[in-house]
Each structure stands twice: as structure tokens, then as C-alpha cells.
């Protein structure tokens, strides 16, 4: 019995130590202590009893460090799909993700029950080219059943050196589970692309919100104005299968098109530091030209912030499908010895006070996924040279001047853009957006 009391004392001290480490970040309530709660000691008694039984009876001997680590992981991961306890290696992986370059298959994932759900495939990645879709459920990774591991372990299994392969068993409604073998690549995310679809109608595709995205979009609008030889009449902003990214980037992009007072988004949580308002900054670079924002169920997080802001400011028509509904804020907290805590601390709200979490953004015009031509084909047209029509063969080069080479490169880019535009015009969502924008132009000119 004395050993159990000593263990209880150790766990109490360990819990207080962990709490004090986190409170230094400034998010915790300085007046709160778990030792003031009777329920804390009742739960701790049960915990120590289970801990003691495992130490004495479990088939294999487990050291205390592993036991505590597993207990903390269970404590955090039981909260929601986005909170997690990170060891030093996990922290390194997270930093790698934020750089926008890593080795893997190219998907953004979350949890669905005891399985892993694909929130969105990333444009022009192995997973995207393999046909994986938003809403697909990963049942197995190689021979590992996903319901036996957590989200971070699933990520590690799918990561790997470029050129290596991984098999994913996929569940999709209305068809039998199937296996996809994917070759890993270095995933480098290109966040935006712009084209002139029709006279006066610009098209900008944002695949993810990164640090330079707002500047890229602003530069693209300027280039489209130049290509159009006058100001744009309208713009299609394509956020389909955009899983999100950096909050500040999404706010900057929304502010490119807002010319009214108010806010872009605000957050609310339990602590004062989690209650933040992000103001709108007047300066619409389109001078009020109509905007259609395209969304689907793969549009999440930062893309939902942009769509919600433009919708509430009456600045854009949202077309497509209801978005994913990832409207929670995760804060990174540093612990001792390189460990970390990614903790959900707030929810996002649109300017009118709508919660994004588990609700998503409801489109103004709902569209069934009746694609006339393949959206995937259009997005995948930063393909290789060999995929282009009438591409040059791989014969030994003749002597060409630098001017000839540059002219050939310009022709290749022009051909690729033409194919991209042709496919986008046949894409059902884009087709309907163009119809709406043309109708608005007629009404406005009357």
C-alpha cells in the first residue's frame, strides 16, 4: 500500500509540474489548480489503480516514462481530432509541414470515428493523381489497421523517402473498399494560379494558404488586368479542395477584396488571450467587380474563413457545396525536454457571428458534382512536358540560340495554359460560375 501512496504522490507532483509548464505560455488560468478539485483526486485514485495493475500484470514490462507518455497522449487525444501531445520528433515534423515541403503522398487528414478521413488531396501530388477524394476513409496503411493507431502515427506511416511506396485501403460510399498503391514524392505546395478564362473574367485557383499567397493573388490580378487590356469585369476564386493553411494569409487574401468596415473573422475561447478580432481593411483591388467563390466539401479552415468573410460582407456569391467545417483554433504550447502540446483553444466565427466549426459555410448557390469535364484534369495541368499535345520529342538538341529557346519555352507555357482554360470552361462548377457572372454583367449594364 505504501508503494501505491508513493506512486500517487509522484503522479500528483508530475501533474502539477506539467500544468505549471503550460501556464507559462499565458493561456492557462493562473487561479486554477487541479489540486483544488475533489473530482481530480477521485479520478487520480482510479488512474493509479489501473496504472498499478498494468505494471504488475501486463504481459510485457513497460517503463514508467512510456506509461506516462501514453497516458498523456490519451488525455489529450480524447478531447478532439486536432489536439495532440507531441514528442520532439513530432514537433520537427510539424515544423517541416509549415515550410510547405515534405516527403509523403500529399493529403490533409483528420479523424472519422476510429479511422482516418481525407479532408482534401493536395493539388498535383501522388495522392491527387491516384484519385483520392475528400471524404474518403483510410481503413489500412500497408498492413496496419488504422483503427488501432492515432492520427499522428498514421501520418508517420504515410511519410517516407521519395520513391518508396505505400498501400492505402480506402473506403468510399457505395463501392467496395479498394487498395491504392502510391509512390511517395517530395511534396512542394504551389499555393496559387491565375488565368484569364474569358474576356473580362479572371480565374484564380488557391490550393493552400501560405505566407506569400496574398501577394501572389494580388500580382495575379494585376497580370490578368494586363492580359485583359482593361480592368476585370469579374473574378472566379476557386477554393475547392483547399484544406486551409495560415490564418494570417487567409485574412490578407480576404482583405484584398473587401472595401467595407468591420471584421474578417474573430475567435472565442475560454481564456482572454483566445478572444481575438481580425479587422477588415478597406482597399478592394477589383473595385467592386463581382466575385464567385467556388467551394466543395474539401474546402476547410482558412478557405472557409475567406468564403465566410466575403459572404458576410456581401462581396461574393458562394457557389458549390457545403464546406468541411473545420472552425477551431489550435495553439502550440512548449513543454519540457522538447515535448509540445497542440491544443484546441478557440473557435472561428464569421463577421456575422456564425460558427464555422462542424457547420461549414453554406453556399448561396448549391451545385451538384456534375462535372462536364474533369476538374482534376484541369488542376493537374502543371503536368510534365511529355503530357502536352504536340510535344517535342527527346531527340538530341540542334544548335539553338538563347532567343529560340526562350521562344519555345513561351510557346510551351502558352499551350499548357490553353489546355487548362479549355478544361476549366468545361468544368461544371466553373461553367455555372461563368453563367452567373455573365448574367450579372447584363443586369448591371441595363
Kindly tell me if the per-residue pLDDT of 370 is higher than 80: no
DSSP for 226-247 reads HHHTS--SEEEEE-TT---B-H
pLDDT greater at residue 23 or residue 95: 95
Active-site residue set: 301, 312, 326
Q: pLDDT (tens digit, 9 = 90+) per residue, 224-252?
A: 999 999 999 999 999 999 999 889 999 99
Q: What residues contact residue 289 under an 8 Å CB cut-off, 6+ apart? A: 231, 232, 233, 234, 235
Q: pLDDT (tens digit, 9 = 90+) per residue, 191-232?
A: 888 999 988 999 999 999 988 899 999 999 999 999 999 999
Host H or E run for residue 137: strand 137-141
pTM to 2 decimal places: 0.76
Helices vs strands, H then E, count in the chain: 12, 19
Helix axes 88-98, 151-158, angle to 10 degrees: 60
How many angstroms separate the CA atoms of 131 and 178, rounded? Answer: 12
How many angstroms separate the CA atoms of 369 and 173, rounded? Answer: 15
Do residues 291 and 204 lie in contact, with contact meaning Cβ atoms separated by under 8 Å? no
Question: Of 331, 355, 327, which Cα lies nearest the Cα of 344?
Answer: 331
pLDDT of residue 386: 35
Dihedral sign, CA of 423, 209, 310, 319?
positive
2, 211, 356 from 278: Cα distances, Å: 55, 17, 16
The CA angle 237-344-347, to the nearest 5 degrees, is 50
- Exposed/middle/buried for 211, CB within 10 Å: 0-12, 13-18, 19+? middle
Host H or E run for residue 159: none
| Phi, psi angle pair for 55, to nearest 5° | -60, -35
pLDDT of residue 141: 96
How many angstroms separate the CA atoms of 343 and 341, rounded? Answer: 6
Task: Name the pLDDT band for 376 (thresholds 50, 70, 90).
Answer: low
Kindly tell me if the per-residue pLDDT of 86 is higher than 90: no
Task: Name the pLDDT band for 46 (thresholds 50, 70, 90).
Answer: very high
Question: Of 329, 349, 327, 210, which Cα lies nearest the Cα of 277?
Answer: 349
Task: Provide the 3-class DSSP secondary structure of residue 73.
Answer: helix
SS3 content of the chain, % helix, strand, coil (to 5): 40, 25, 35
Query: Of all residues in the chain, what percent carry a pLDDT higher than 70?
Result: 79
Amino acid at each position: 500500500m505504501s508503494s501505491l501512496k508513493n506512486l500517487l504522490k509522484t503522479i500528483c507532483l508530475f501533474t502539477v509540474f506539467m500544468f505549471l509548464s503550460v501556464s507559462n505560455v499565458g493561456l492557462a488560468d493562473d487561479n486554477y489548480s487541479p489540486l483544488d478539485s475533489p473530482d481530480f483526486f477521485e479520478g487520480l485514485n482510479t488512474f493509479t489503480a489501473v496504472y498499478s495493475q498494468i505494471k504488475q500484470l501486463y504481459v510485457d514490462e513497460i517503463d514508467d516514462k512510456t506509461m506516462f507518455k501514453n497516458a498523456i497522449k490519451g488525455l489529450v487525444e480524447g478531447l478532439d481530432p486536432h489536439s495532440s501531445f507531441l514528442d520532439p520528433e513530432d514537433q520537427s515534423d510539424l515544423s517541416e509541414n509549415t515550410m510547405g515541403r515534405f516527403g509523403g503522398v500529399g493529403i490533409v487528414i483528420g479523424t472519422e470515428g476510429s479511422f482516418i478521413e481525407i479532408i482534401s488531396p493536395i493539388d498535383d501530388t501522388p495522392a491527387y493523381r491516384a484519385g483520392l477524394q475528400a471524404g474518403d476513409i483510410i481503413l489500412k496503411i500497408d498492413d496496419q489497421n488504422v483503427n488501432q493507431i492515432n492520427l499522428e502515427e498514421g501520418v508517420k506511416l504515410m511519410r517516407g523517402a521519395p520513391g518508396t511506396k505505400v498501400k492505402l485501403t480506402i473506403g468510399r460510399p457505395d463501392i467496395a473498399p479498394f487498395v491504392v498503391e502510391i509512390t511517395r514524392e517530395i511534396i512542394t505546395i504551389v499555393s496559387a494560379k491565375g488565368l484569364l478564362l474569358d474576356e473580362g473574367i479572371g480565374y484564380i485557383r488557391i490550393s493552400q494558404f501560405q505566407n506569400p499567397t496574398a501577394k501572389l493573388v494580388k500580382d495575379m490580378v494585376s497580370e490578368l488586368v494586363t492580359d485583359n487590356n482593361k480592368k476585370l469585369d469579374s473574378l472566379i476564386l476557386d477554393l475547392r479542395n483547399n484544406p486551409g493553411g495560415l490564418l494570417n494569409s487567409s485574412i490578407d487574401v480576404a482583405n484584398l477584396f473587401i472595401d467595407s468596415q468591420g471584421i474578417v473573422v474573430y475567435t472565442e475561447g475560454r481564456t482572454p488571450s483566445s478572444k481575438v478580432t481580425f479587422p477588415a481593411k478597406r482597399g478592394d483591388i477589383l473595385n467592386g467587380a463581382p466575385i464567385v467563390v467556388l467551394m466543395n466539401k474539401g474546402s476547410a479552415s482558412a478557405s472557409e474563413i475567406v468564403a465566410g468573410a466575403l459572404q458576410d460582407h456581401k462581396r461574393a456569391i458562394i457557389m458549390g457545396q457545403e464546406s468541411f467545417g473545420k472552425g477551431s483554433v489550435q495553439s502550440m504550447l512548449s513543454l519540457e525536454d522538447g515535448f509540445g502540446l497542440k491544443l484546441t483553444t478557440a473557435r472561428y466565427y464569421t463577421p456575422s457571428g456564425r460558427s464555422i466549426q462542424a457547420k461549414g459555410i453554406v453556399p448561396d448557390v448549391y451545385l451538384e458534382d456534375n462535372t462536364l469535364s474533369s476538374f482534376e484534369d484541369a488542376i493537374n495541368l502543371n503536368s510534365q512536358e511529355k503530357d502536352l499535345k504536340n510535344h517535342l520529342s527527346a531527340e538530341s538538341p540542334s544548335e539553338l540560340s538563347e532567343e529560340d529557346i526562350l521562344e519555345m519555352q513561351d510557346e510551351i507555357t502558352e499551350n499548357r495554359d490553353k489546355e487548362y482554360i479549355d478544361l476549366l470552361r468545361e468544368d461544371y462548377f466553373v461553367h455555372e460560375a461563368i453563367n452567373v457572372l455573365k448574367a450579372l454583367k447584363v443586369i448591371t449594364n441595363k
